[in-house]
Amino acid sequence: MKRVNDIFYSIQGEGRNAGRAAVFVRFSGCNLKCSFCDTDFADFRLMSDEDIIAEISQWPARLVILTGGEPTLQTDAPFIDKLHDAGFEVAMETNGTNIPPDNIDWITCSPKTGVRLRRCNELKCLFDENGRADDFGIEADYYYVQPCDTGDEECNRRITSACTEYVKEHPEWRLSLQIHKLAGFK
Protein backbone atom coordinates (compact mmCIF):
# COMPACT_ATOMS: atom_id res chain seq x y z
CA MET A 1 0.00 0.00 0.00
CA LYS A 2 1.19 3.48 -0.87
CA ARG A 3 0.49 6.73 0.98
CA VAL A 4 -1.07 9.04 -1.60
CA ASN A 5 -1.63 12.68 -0.76
CA ASP A 6 -3.48 13.57 -3.96
CA ILE A 7 -4.21 12.43 -7.51
CA PHE A 8 -5.24 15.10 -9.97
CA TYR A 9 -5.38 15.90 -13.67
CA SER A 10 -3.75 19.09 -14.92
CA ILE A 11 -1.05 20.57 -17.14
CA GLN A 12 2.62 20.11 -16.27
CA GLY A 13 3.69 23.57 -15.20
CA GLU A 14 7.48 23.45 -15.38
CA GLY A 15 10.54 21.97 -17.06
CA ARG A 16 10.86 20.15 -20.37
CA ASN A 17 7.32 18.74 -20.22
CA ALA A 18 5.71 22.11 -19.44
CA GLY A 19 2.38 22.50 -21.18
CA ARG A 20 1.63 18.76 -21.44
CA ALA A 21 -1.55 17.31 -19.99
CA ALA A 22 -0.66 14.89 -17.21
CA VAL A 23 -2.05 12.94 -14.31
CA PHE A 24 -0.19 13.74 -11.09
CA VAL A 25 0.22 11.23 -8.28
CA ARG A 26 1.43 13.17 -5.25
CA PHE A 27 2.81 10.84 -2.59
CA SER A 28 2.84 11.76 1.07
CA GLY A 29 6.08 11.72 3.04
CA CYS A 30 9.57 12.95 2.43
CA ASN A 31 13.01 12.42 3.91
CA LEU A 32 13.71 16.20 3.77
CA LYS A 33 11.96 19.10 5.48
CA CYS A 34 12.13 21.99 2.99
CA SER A 35 10.54 25.22 4.21
CA PHE A 36 9.02 25.96 0.78
CA CYS A 37 7.40 22.54 0.26
CA ASP A 38 3.76 22.67 -0.86
CA THR A 39 2.68 19.19 0.31
CA ASP A 40 0.78 18.43 3.52
CA PHE A 41 2.39 15.15 4.53
CA ALA A 42 -0.10 14.43 7.32
CA ASP A 43 -2.93 14.06 4.79
CA PHE A 44 -2.93 10.82 2.79
CA ARG A 45 -4.95 7.76 1.86
CA LEU A 46 -3.58 4.26 1.52
CA MET A 47 -3.89 2.94 -2.02
CA SER A 48 -2.81 -0.23 -3.79
CA ASP A 49 -1.02 -0.11 -7.14
CA GLU A 50 -4.27 -1.25 -8.77
CA ASP A 51 -6.30 1.48 -7.02
CA ILE A 52 -3.85 4.13 -8.26
CA ILE A 53 -3.95 2.83 -11.83
CA ALA A 54 -7.77 2.67 -11.80
CA GLU A 55 -7.98 6.27 -10.63
CA ILE A 56 -5.42 7.72 -13.06
CA SER A 57 -6.98 5.82 -15.97
CA GLN A 58 -10.13 7.95 -15.81
CA TRP A 59 -8.35 10.80 -17.65
CA PRO A 60 -7.25 10.80 -21.32
CA ALA A 61 -3.58 11.84 -20.80
CA ARG A 62 -1.06 9.02 -20.93
CA LEU A 63 1.65 10.92 -19.02
CA VAL A 64 1.70 10.24 -15.28
CA ILE A 65 3.96 12.28 -13.02
CA LEU A 66 4.99 10.75 -9.72
CA THR A 67 5.74 13.52 -7.28
CA GLY A 68 5.49 14.28 -3.62
CA GLY A 69 6.91 14.52 -1.07
CA GLU A 70 9.57 12.13 -2.24
CA PRO A 71 8.19 9.47 -4.61
CA THR A 72 11.26 7.20 -4.45
CA LEU A 73 10.20 6.29 -0.91
CA GLN A 74 7.08 4.54 -2.27
CA THR A 75 7.79 3.43 -5.82
CA ASP A 76 9.58 0.41 -7.19
CA ALA A 77 10.20 -1.22 -10.57
CA PRO A 78 7.13 -3.53 -10.40
CA PHE A 79 4.83 -0.52 -9.85
CA ILE A 80 6.42 1.30 -12.81
CA ASP A 81 5.98 -1.86 -14.93
CA LYS A 82 2.27 -1.89 -14.03
CA LEU A 83 1.97 1.76 -15.10
CA HIS A 84 3.67 0.96 -18.41
CA ASP A 85 1.42 -2.08 -18.91
CA ALA A 86 -1.57 0.27 -18.42
CA GLY A 87 -0.24 2.46 -21.25
CA PHE A 88 1.37 5.27 -19.26
CA GLU A 89 4.57 7.17 -19.88
CA VAL A 90 6.07 7.62 -16.40
CA ALA A 91 7.86 10.72 -15.17
CA MET A 92 9.16 11.26 -11.65
CA GLU A 93 10.11 14.39 -9.74
CA THR A 94 12.67 13.51 -7.06
CA ASN A 95 15.02 15.25 -4.65
CA GLY A 96 17.79 12.82 -5.68
CA THR A 97 18.49 11.43 -2.21
CA ASN A 98 17.42 7.94 -3.32
CA ILE A 99 18.00 6.11 -6.59
CA PRO A 100 14.76 5.79 -8.62
CA PRO A 101 13.82 2.55 -10.39
CA ASP A 102 15.64 2.09 -13.71
CA ASN A 103 12.45 1.74 -15.75
CA ILE A 104 11.17 5.31 -15.33
CA ASP A 105 10.86 7.17 -18.64
CA TRP A 106 11.74 10.69 -17.43
CA ILE A 107 13.45 11.79 -14.23
CA THR A 108 13.43 15.36 -12.99
CA CYS A 109 15.76 15.95 -10.07
CA SER A 110 15.39 19.00 -7.86
CA PRO A 111 18.32 18.48 -5.46
CA LYS A 112 18.55 20.04 -2.02
CA THR A 113 21.05 18.08 0.10
CA GLY A 114 22.38 14.53 0.51
CA VAL A 115 22.12 13.76 -3.21
CA ARG A 116 22.89 10.20 -4.36
CA LEU A 117 21.46 10.40 -7.88
CA ARG A 118 24.18 11.01 -10.50
CA ARG A 119 22.15 11.10 -13.76
CA CYS A 120 18.72 12.42 -14.70
CA ASN A 121 16.88 13.78 -17.72
CA GLU A 122 16.42 17.25 -16.29
CA LEU A 123 17.99 18.94 -13.34
CA LYS A 124 15.88 21.69 -11.81
CA CYS A 125 17.64 23.89 -9.27
CA LEU A 126 15.78 26.41 -7.20
CA PHE A 127 17.28 29.86 -7.50
CA ASP A 128 16.94 31.97 -4.37
CA GLU A 129 18.38 35.19 -3.03
CA ASN A 130 21.84 33.58 -2.88
CA GLY A 131 21.86 33.88 -6.67
CA ARG A 132 23.54 30.77 -8.01
CA ALA A 133 22.74 27.33 -9.38
CA ASP A 134 24.47 24.16 -8.23
CA ASP A 135 24.39 21.00 -10.35
CA PHE A 136 25.40 18.87 -7.31
CA GLY A 137 27.64 16.85 -9.64
CA ILE A 138 24.57 15.46 -11.45
CA GLU A 139 24.75 14.86 -15.19
CA ALA A 140 21.55 15.82 -17.03
CA ASP A 141 20.20 16.26 -20.53
CA TYR A 142 18.75 19.65 -19.53
CA TYR A 143 19.68 22.09 -16.76
CA TYR A 144 17.00 24.43 -15.40
CA VAL A 145 17.00 27.18 -12.83
CA GLN A 146 13.69 28.06 -11.27
CA PRO A 147 13.08 31.20 -9.24
CA CYS A 148 12.11 30.25 -5.69
CA ASP A 149 8.63 31.42 -4.72
CA THR A 150 9.06 33.12 -1.35
CA GLY A 151 5.47 34.29 -1.08
CA ASP A 152 6.69 37.91 -1.16
CA GLU A 153 5.91 39.56 -4.51
CA GLU A 154 8.78 42.08 -4.41
CA CYS A 155 11.31 39.47 -3.31
CA ASN A 156 10.08 37.12 -6.06
CA ARG A 157 10.60 39.88 -8.64
CA ARG A 158 14.20 40.38 -7.48
CA ILE A 159 14.90 36.65 -7.53
CA THR A 160 13.37 36.21 -11.00
CA SER A 161 15.39 39.14 -12.34
CA ALA A 162 18.61 37.73 -10.87
CA CYS A 163 17.73 34.28 -12.20
CA THR A 164 17.21 35.71 -15.70
CA GLU A 165 20.61 37.42 -15.57
CA TYR A 166 22.18 34.17 -14.34
CA VAL A 167 20.86 32.29 -17.39
CA LYS A 168 22.22 35.00 -19.71
CA GLU A 169 25.65 34.61 -18.11
CA HIS A 170 25.43 30.79 -17.95
CA PRO A 171 23.65 29.72 -21.16
CA GLU A 172 24.00 26.02 -20.34
CA TRP A 173 21.12 26.65 -17.89
CA ARG A 174 17.51 27.35 -18.96
CA LEU A 175 14.90 29.38 -17.14
CA SER A 176 11.94 27.38 -15.81
CA LEU A 177 8.96 29.37 -14.61
CA GLN A 178 6.09 27.71 -12.81
CA ILE A 179 3.44 28.38 -15.43
CA HIS A 180 0.78 26.66 -13.32
CA LYS A 181 1.22 29.40 -10.72
CA LEU A 182 1.36 32.18 -13.33
CA ALA A 183 -1.77 30.88 -15.08
CA GLY A 184 -3.55 30.03 -11.84
CA PHE A 185 -4.16 26.29 -12.16
CA LYS A 186 -3.17 23.34 -9.97
Among this protein's residues, is 163 annotated catalytic?
Answer: no
Q: Which of 8, 34, 141, 152 is catalytic?
A: 34
Among this protein's residues, is 38 annotated catalytic?
Answer: yes
3-state secondary structure 117-184: CCEEEEEEEEECCCCCCCCCCCEEEEEEEEECCCCCHHHHHHHHHHHHHHHHHCCCEEECCCHHHHHC
Among this protein's residues, is 84 annotated catalytic?
Answer: no
Q: Which of 14, 24, 49, 97 is catalytic?
A: 24
Q: Which of 93, 94, 148, 163 is catalytic?
A: 93
DSSP assignment letter at 64 = E
Among this protein's residues, is 39 annotated catalytic?
Answer: yes
Among this protein's residues, is 155 annotated catalytic?
Answer: no
Distance between CA 102 and CA 145 in Å, rounded? 25
Report how far apart, in Å, the C-alpha atoms of 136 and of each of 26, 97, 120 are. 25, 11, 12
Among this protein's residues, is 37 annotated catalytic?
Answer: yes
Q: Which of 30, 125, 148, 163 is catalytic?
A: 30
Distance of CA 58 to the CA centre of its chain: 22
- Residues forming the active site: 24, 30, 34, 37-39, 93, 180
